[in-house]
Amino acid sequence: MSDANRVIITILDKDYPIACPPEEREALLRAAQELNNRMRTIRNTGSIIGLERIAVMAALNLCHELHQIKNGSLENSSEDITRIIDKIDASLE
């Protein structure tokens, strides 16, 4: 992984080096920030313990939102769909 194509994202105070083309860097950083915020919210409820379980719950919530968008339950603007897909990609990394 070349340094030019590497981005360090931080999720729950842990750094992750991610290979990313320069043109996708900003989208990745936004997705990582959204994932970090969601995982912090889940962690702060105190009902879910463990990084893996928190990550799974965040991924499930994001997939649920995507499913609602695809079925027309949520407003399905292309910007919203792109944002949700970016979040899912980031959570799978």
What does the mean pLDDT of the chain come to?
84
pLDDT at 77 over 60: no
Q: What is the pLDDT of residues 17-31, one digit of tens each?
A: 999 999 999 999 999
* Single pTM value for the model: 0.69
For 28, other C-beta atoms within 10 Å of its C-beta total 19
- The answer to whether residue 93 scores a pLDDT higher than 80 is no
In tens, the pLDDT along 47-72 reads 888 999 999 999 998 888 888 888 87
Q: Which residues contact 91 (CB under 8 A, 6 or more apart)?
A: 35, 55, 58, 59, 62
